[in-house]
Homo-oligomer: A and B are copies of this chain.
Amino acid sequence: MSDQKTNHDTRERILDVAERLFMEHGYEGTSMRVITTCADVNLAAVNYHFGSKEALLREVFRRRLSWLNRERLYALDALEAEAAGAPLKPSQILEAFFGTLLRIGEQPSLGGMTFLRLLGRTLTEPAEFIRTFFASEYAEVIDRYKQALYNALPDVPKAEIVWRLHFMLGAMSYAIAGTDVLRVVTGCELGDLAGEGAADTVDDATLARRLAQRLMPFLLGGLRAPLPSAPDSSKASPVPPSEGDREPRTANHLQEKQP
Protein backbone atom coordinates (compact mmCIF):
# COMPACT_ATOMS: atom_id res chain seq x y z
CA MET A 1 0.00 0.00 0.00
CA SER A 2 2.83 2.36 -0.77
CA ASP A 3 2.15 3.89 -4.16
CA GLN A 4 -1.29 2.48 -4.80
CA LYS A 5 -3.98 5.04 -5.61
CA THR A 6 -6.48 4.59 -2.81
CA ASN A 7 -9.46 6.84 -2.11
CA HIS A 8 -7.45 8.43 0.62
CA ASP A 9 -4.76 9.43 -1.85
CA THR A 10 -7.33 10.91 -4.21
CA ARG A 11 -9.00 12.89 -1.45
CA GLU A 12 -5.72 14.22 -0.11
CA ARG A 13 -4.47 15.07 -3.57
CA ILE A 14 -7.59 17.08 -4.28
CA LEU A 15 -7.25 18.86 -0.94
CA ASP A 16 -3.59 19.68 -1.53
CA VAL A 17 -4.22 21.04 -5.01
CA ALA A 18 -7.29 23.00 -3.93
CA GLU A 19 -5.38 24.52 -1.03
CA ARG A 20 -2.72 25.84 -3.37
CA LEU A 21 -5.09 27.02 -6.08
CA PHE A 22 -7.49 28.74 -3.68
CA MET A 23 -4.47 30.52 -2.25
CA GLU A 24 -3.23 31.59 -5.68
CA HIS A 25 -6.51 32.61 -7.31
CA GLY A 26 -9.11 32.89 -4.58
CA TYR A 27 -12.25 30.81 -4.14
CA GLU A 28 -14.36 32.34 -6.89
CA GLY A 29 -11.33 32.54 -9.14
CA THR A 30 -10.63 28.81 -8.98
CA SER A 31 -12.79 26.51 -11.11
CA MET A 32 -13.54 22.89 -10.42
CA ARG A 33 -12.18 22.07 -13.85
CA VAL A 34 -8.78 23.47 -12.99
CA ILE A 35 -8.71 21.76 -9.59
CA THR A 36 -9.54 18.34 -10.96
CA THR A 37 -7.19 18.72 -13.91
CA CYS A 38 -4.25 19.71 -11.69
CA ALA A 39 -5.02 16.93 -9.24
CA ASP A 40 -5.19 14.50 -12.15
CA VAL A 41 -8.63 13.26 -11.15
CA ASN A 42 -11.95 13.33 -12.92
CA LEU A 43 -14.13 16.41 -12.88
CA ALA A 44 -16.75 14.50 -10.91
CA ALA A 45 -14.34 13.49 -8.16
CA VAL A 46 -14.83 16.67 -6.14
CA ASN A 47 -18.56 16.27 -5.98
CA TYR A 48 -18.18 12.59 -5.25
CA HIS A 49 -15.78 13.01 -2.35
CA PHE A 50 -16.94 16.31 -0.87
CA GLY A 51 -20.39 17.03 -2.25
CA SER A 52 -19.80 20.52 -3.60
CA LYS A 53 -17.20 23.18 -4.13
CA GLU A 54 -18.23 24.93 -0.93
CA ALA A 55 -17.83 21.74 1.05
CA LEU A 56 -14.40 21.28 -0.53
CA LEU A 57 -13.27 24.66 0.73
CA ARG A 58 -14.58 23.90 4.19
CA GLU A 59 -12.69 20.61 4.25
CA VAL A 60 -9.49 22.32 3.07
CA PHE A 61 -9.69 24.50 6.16
CA ARG A 62 -11.05 21.97 8.58
CA ARG A 63 -8.15 19.55 8.25
CA ARG A 64 -5.74 22.37 9.20
CA LEU A 65 -7.79 24.43 11.61
CA SER A 66 -8.90 21.56 13.78
CA TRP A 67 -5.24 20.84 14.54
CA LEU A 68 -4.34 24.52 14.97
CA ASN A 69 -7.15 25.40 17.31
CA ARG A 70 -6.67 22.27 19.39
CA GLU A 71 -3.01 23.20 19.83
CA ARG A 72 -4.00 26.72 20.79
CA LEU A 73 -6.31 25.43 23.49
CA TYR A 74 -3.63 23.07 24.78
CA ALA A 75 -1.13 25.93 24.91
CA LEU A 76 -3.53 28.10 26.87
CA ASP A 77 -4.39 25.24 29.19
CA ALA A 78 -0.71 24.69 29.89
CA LEU A 79 -0.09 28.35 30.61
CA GLU A 80 -3.05 28.63 32.93
CA ALA A 81 -2.14 25.46 34.77
CA GLU A 82 1.36 26.77 35.31
CA ALA A 83 0.12 30.16 36.46
CA ALA A 84 -2.18 28.48 38.99
CA GLY A 85 -4.88 31.13 38.93
CA ALA A 86 -2.70 34.17 38.44
CA PRO A 87 -3.37 36.18 35.28
CA LEU A 88 -1.06 35.47 32.35
CA LYS A 89 1.31 37.96 30.81
CA PRO A 90 0.08 39.42 27.53
CA SER A 91 3.26 38.26 25.84
CA GLN A 92 2.52 34.68 26.84
CA ILE A 93 -0.99 34.86 25.45
CA LEU A 94 0.15 36.29 22.14
CA GLU A 95 2.89 33.72 21.85
CA ALA A 96 0.38 30.93 22.39
CA PHE A 97 -2.10 32.32 19.89
CA PHE A 98 0.07 33.73 17.12
CA GLY A 99 3.18 31.65 17.68
CA THR A 100 1.22 28.43 17.30
CA LEU A 101 -0.17 29.71 14.03
CA LEU A 102 3.10 30.98 12.63
CA ARG A 103 4.90 27.75 13.41
CA ILE A 104 2.67 26.09 10.82
CA GLY A 105 4.64 28.00 8.23
CA GLU A 106 7.75 26.05 9.15
CA GLN A 107 6.09 22.66 8.72
CA PRO A 108 4.89 21.68 5.24
CA SER A 109 3.12 18.66 6.71
CA LEU A 110 0.76 21.06 8.49
CA GLY A 111 0.18 23.13 5.38
CA GLY A 112 3.20 25.41 5.56
CA MET A 113 3.20 28.89 4.15
CA THR A 114 0.70 27.85 1.49
CA PHE A 115 -1.96 27.30 4.10
CA LEU A 116 -1.00 30.41 6.08
CA ARG A 117 -1.32 32.57 2.99
CA LEU A 118 -4.64 30.97 2.11
CA LEU A 119 -5.92 31.59 5.61
CA GLY A 120 -4.85 35.23 5.57
CA ARG A 121 -6.59 35.86 2.29
CA THR A 122 -9.74 33.94 2.94
CA LEU A 123 -10.52 35.76 6.18
CA THR A 124 -11.56 38.76 4.10
CA GLU A 125 -13.57 36.90 1.50
CA PRO A 126 -17.09 38.24 1.58
CA ALA A 127 -18.98 35.00 0.82
CA GLU A 128 -21.47 34.31 3.55
CA PHE A 129 -20.82 30.58 3.86
CA ILE A 130 -17.12 31.26 4.46
CA ARG A 131 -17.79 33.72 7.25
CA THR A 132 -20.23 31.48 9.05
CA PHE A 133 -17.81 28.58 8.71
CA PHE A 134 -14.96 30.52 10.27
CA ALA A 135 -17.24 31.76 13.00
CA SER A 136 -18.03 28.23 14.12
CA GLU A 137 -14.46 26.98 13.73
CA TYR A 138 -12.98 29.84 15.76
CA ALA A 139 -15.69 30.40 18.34
CA GLU A 140 -14.22 28.43 21.21
CA VAL A 141 -10.61 29.53 20.76
CA ILE A 142 -11.47 33.20 20.42
CA ASP A 143 -13.66 33.05 23.48
CA ARG A 144 -10.96 31.44 25.63
CA TYR A 145 -8.26 33.87 24.48
CA LYS A 146 -10.48 36.87 24.94
CA GLN A 147 -11.08 35.81 28.51
CA ALA A 148 -7.38 35.33 29.06
CA LEU A 149 -6.71 38.84 27.77
CA TYR A 150 -9.48 40.29 29.93
CA ASN A 151 -7.80 38.73 32.97
CA ALA A 152 -4.33 39.77 31.90
CA LEU A 153 -5.38 43.40 31.37
CA PRO A 154 -8.02 44.01 34.04
CA ASP A 155 -7.85 47.78 33.79
CA VAL A 156 -8.36 47.92 30.04
CA PRO A 157 -12.00 48.11 28.94
CA LYS A 158 -13.12 44.86 27.38
CA ALA A 159 -14.29 46.63 24.25
CA GLU A 160 -10.81 48.04 23.81
CA ILE A 161 -9.30 44.58 24.11
CA VAL A 162 -11.63 43.21 21.46
CA TRP A 163 -10.72 46.05 19.12
CA ARG A 164 -7.04 45.36 19.62
CA LEU A 165 -7.45 41.64 19.17
CA HIS A 166 -9.13 42.53 15.93
CA PHE A 167 -6.24 44.78 14.90
CA MET A 168 -3.72 42.09 15.77
CA LEU A 169 -5.53 39.52 13.66
CA GLY A 170 -5.47 41.94 10.78
CA ALA A 171 -1.80 42.74 11.05
CA MET A 172 -0.99 39.05 11.16
CA SER A 173 -3.23 38.09 8.28
CA TYR A 174 -1.88 40.77 5.99
CA ALA A 175 1.66 40.07 7.03
CA ILE A 176 1.21 36.46 6.00
CA ALA A 177 -0.78 37.06 2.84
CA GLY A 178 1.69 39.75 1.88
CA THR A 179 4.68 37.45 1.90
CA ASP A 180 3.92 37.06 -1.74
CA VAL A 181 1.49 39.90 -2.42
CA LEU A 182 2.32 43.06 -0.61
CA ARG A 183 5.58 43.69 -2.36
CA VAL A 184 3.01 45.67 -4.30
CA VAL A 185 2.66 48.17 -1.51
CA THR A 186 6.08 48.05 0.03
CA GLY A 187 7.84 48.15 -3.29
CA CYS A 188 10.20 45.30 -2.65
CA GLU A 189 10.22 41.58 -2.08
CA LEU A 190 9.89 40.50 1.50
CA GLY A 191 12.82 38.22 0.91
CA ASP A 192 14.90 41.38 0.75
CA LEU A 193 13.49 42.44 4.07
CA ALA A 194 13.86 39.19 5.90
CA GLY A 195 17.57 38.77 5.46
CA GLU A 196 20.28 41.09 6.68
CA GLY A 197 22.56 40.49 3.75
CA ALA A 198 21.44 37.77 1.39
CA ALA A 199 18.70 39.33 -0.71
CA ASP A 200 17.82 36.36 -2.87
CA THR A 201 15.08 33.84 -2.23
CA VAL A 202 14.34 32.63 1.26
CA ASP A 203 12.80 29.26 1.94
CA ASP A 204 9.39 29.11 3.56
CA ALA A 205 10.53 27.86 6.95
CA THR A 206 13.05 30.66 7.31
CA LEU A 207 10.55 33.22 6.15
CA ALA A 208 8.02 32.00 8.70
CA ARG A 209 10.54 32.24 11.52
CA ARG A 210 11.65 35.73 10.58
CA LEU A 211 8.08 36.86 10.14
CA ALA A 212 7.23 35.70 13.65
CA GLN A 213 10.30 37.40 15.03
CA ARG A 214 9.26 40.72 13.48
CA LEU A 215 5.54 40.44 14.05
CA MET A 216 5.37 39.53 17.73
CA PRO A 217 7.00 42.70 19.09
CA PHE A 218 4.77 44.77 16.84
CA LEU A 219 1.61 43.06 18.10
CA LEU A 220 2.66 43.36 21.71
CA GLY A 221 3.47 47.03 21.24
CA GLY A 222 0.05 47.64 19.75
CA LEU A 223 -1.78 45.65 22.39
CA ARG A 224 -0.07 47.53 25.18
CA ALA A 225 -0.30 50.98 23.64
CA PRO A 226 -1.76 53.81 25.77
CA LEU A 227 -5.52 54.02 25.64
CA PRO A 228 -7.06 56.72 23.46
CA SER A 229 -8.49 59.73 25.20
CA ALA A 230 -12.22 59.50 25.81
CA PRO A 231 -14.00 61.54 23.13
CA ASP A 232 -17.70 61.84 23.88
CA SER A 233 -17.70 60.50 27.40
CA SER A 234 -16.56 62.29 30.53
CA LYS A 235 -14.74 59.36 32.09
CA ALA A 236 -10.98 59.49 31.99
CA SER A 237 -8.74 56.92 30.32
CA PRO A 238 -6.89 54.94 32.95
CA VAL A 239 -3.46 53.66 32.11
CA PRO A 240 -3.59 49.88 31.90
CA PRO A 241 -0.95 48.32 34.12
CA SER A 242 0.03 44.87 32.96
CA GLU A 243 1.74 42.28 35.07
CA GLY A 244 5.36 41.48 34.43
CA ASP A 245 5.73 43.89 31.56
CA ARG A 246 6.01 47.53 32.43
CA GLU A 247 3.33 49.62 30.79
CA PRO A 248 4.69 52.78 29.21
CA ARG A 249 2.68 55.96 29.30
CA THR A 250 3.04 58.36 26.42
CA ALA A 251 1.13 61.38 25.25
CA ASN A 252 -2.12 60.92 23.43
CA HIS A 253 -1.36 61.62 19.84
CA LEU A 254 -4.80 61.33 18.43
CA GLN A 255 -7.32 63.98 19.24
CA GLU A 256 -10.95 63.63 18.35
CA LYS A 257 -11.67 65.75 15.30
CA GLN A 258 -15.15 66.86 16.25
CA PRO A 259 -16.29 67.01 19.87
Chain A residues close to B by CB (< 8 Å): 23-29, 89, 91, 94-95, 103, 120-121, 123-127, 131-132, 134-135, 138-139, 142-143, 146, 159-160, 162-175, 177-178, 181-182, 184-188, 190, 192-194, 196, 209-210, 212-228, 231-233, 245-246, 248, 250-254, 256-258
Contact = CB atoms under 8 A, between A and B. Distances in A.
B173 A126 contact: no
B25 A127 contact: yes
A235 to B, nearest CB: 8
Contacts of A120: 124
A-B residue pairs, 6 tightest by C-beta: A170-B174, A221-B225, A248-B248, A28-B28, A91-B253, A222-B222
Given A217-B228, A221-B222, A228-B214, A126 B135 contact: no
B181 A126 contact: yes
A214 B186 CA distance: 24
Contacts of A212: 254
A24 B126 contact: yes
A194 B232 CA distance: 11
A106 B213 CA distance: 36
A196 B233 contact: yes
